[in-house]
Structure 1
């Protein structure tokens, strides 16, 4: 493989890690770039290979958040286990069927999310819910099933959907939502990685250098998010949701 292709993939992976660490959605950057630069490679191999840098960047971002943000470990461990299983099943299904039929529905959902986040200025600025422990577990498990399966089956924007779930459903502020979402996202990535490794779909020659760059981006992005706080993260969230909207809009109307 030509050196310039690997360099371009690494640059994309760095920016993907940076954005993903703040609010998720890094796949919106590195996935299209990889599909363009590797036109003769099977899509399943590209998606499988990109799970390695995604996991690497999320790991380094999560480590930074762990130093500064309080985690609900009981909730996170249960959500992570459920998300791992769901992502594994989603990736298994992806090897048999196309995910295209889901994209029109996601397009509409993203429009509603973008409008709501833009109009509600205090969205994610503070905890607005006081759920019981049982309710937290119930909604957390439900989130993990749905979003975990989505990550394994489709992928782009998973981190943003997790952040949205932690804010809108569980009542976290954006900073705590981003931190906790990283831990669950690790599980979904790992679930998909296990499936793609078993299927022999990972191209290690691009996955490893991209993983290093994604980790660096994740490290820097997480530090910036912690320093800047909720307002900064909210702006990034809107940018990523709009980016996801454009991506799915292109897939729905122009492919």
Structure 2
């Protein structure tokens, strides 16, 4: 049984992570080290992180959807393929050599950060799509869902850059759609983690309470300030993730 003060600190970590995750992704940078510091084993920390994180992501999705930034019916095919991709990735992780991702993912994250930092026309206004939304978003969902299943860091950044670059979404709509598909990829992982008994439920519940608050406030902040807050936070989170993966793999 964990000390009540440790549980309170984990709740605070969940709240902060939910806020960051609702805007730019990367909340796991806060929660996974916190869970490991609290004494959870690595697999237990990852499973519990998925469980508490999905609550905050769900709150963020609900908030973006209620404000009109997510059209869930248009995402149904992408939701199905994201779930399938994440499941396949989770099942295949033991069969694949993921060592190349140790370098490739940080490089990709730095490239995303540079794009968001220097691209002059990033805003909340939708642009002309380079690819048809209905046909190609499911493929994006499957590919990034598969990546999330086998590795994971930067999933939110990859979804966001895809929605902006390929489908012309403004940053706030891109973030809302990102949260919806990220919720599904996390859910697929939990389908495997929960039956295996890896989730530490008392910790997950306490952190989920923090995630509900953080996810709601973060989504409202993203909606209110739009590109002004989403753009710099994506840059910071992407660079921080890249540094973490390169220096503390």
Q: TM-score, normalised by structure 2?
A: 0.91
Give the secondary structure class of the aligned counterpart of 1:198.
Answer: coil
Q: What is the rounded CA distance, in whole Å, between the counterparts of 1:219 and 1:124 in structure 2?
A: 22
Does the 8 Å CA contact 1:26/1:156 hold for their aligned counterparts? Answer: no
Instruction: Structure 2: state its 5+ residue gaps.
Output: none
Cα distance change on mapping 1:211 and 1:100 into 2, 3 Å: farther
**Residue 237 of structure 1 corresponds to which residue in structure 2?**
234
**Residue 215 of structure 2 corresponds to which residue in structure 1?**
218
**Residue 149 of structure 2 corresponds to which residue in structure 1?**
152
**Residue 15 of structure 1 corresponds to which residue in structure 2?**
16
1:9-158 matches, cutoff 5 A:
9-38=10-39, 41-94=40-93, 99-130=98-129, 135-158=132-155
Does the 8 Å CA contact 2:124/2:171 hold for their aligned counterparts? Answer: yes
Q: TM-score, normalised by structure 1?
A: 0.89
Q: What is the rounded CA distance, in whole Å, between the counterparts of 1:154 and 1:172 in structure 2?
A: 26
CA RMSD of aligned residues (A): 2.0
Deviations 1:171-207 (A, max 9, x none): 1010000111111111111111111012221111211
Q: What is the rounded CA distance, in whole Å, between the counterparts of 2:57 and 2:84 in structure 1?
A: 18
Does the 8 Å CA contact 1:103/1:251 hold for their aligned counterparts? Answer: no
Q: What is the rounded CA distance, in whole Å, between the counterparts of 2:89 and 2:28 in structure 1?
A: 17
Pairs aligned (count): 248
Cα distance change on mapping 1:108 and 1:60 into 2, 3 Å: same
Instruction: Structure 1: state its 5+ residue gaps.
Output: none
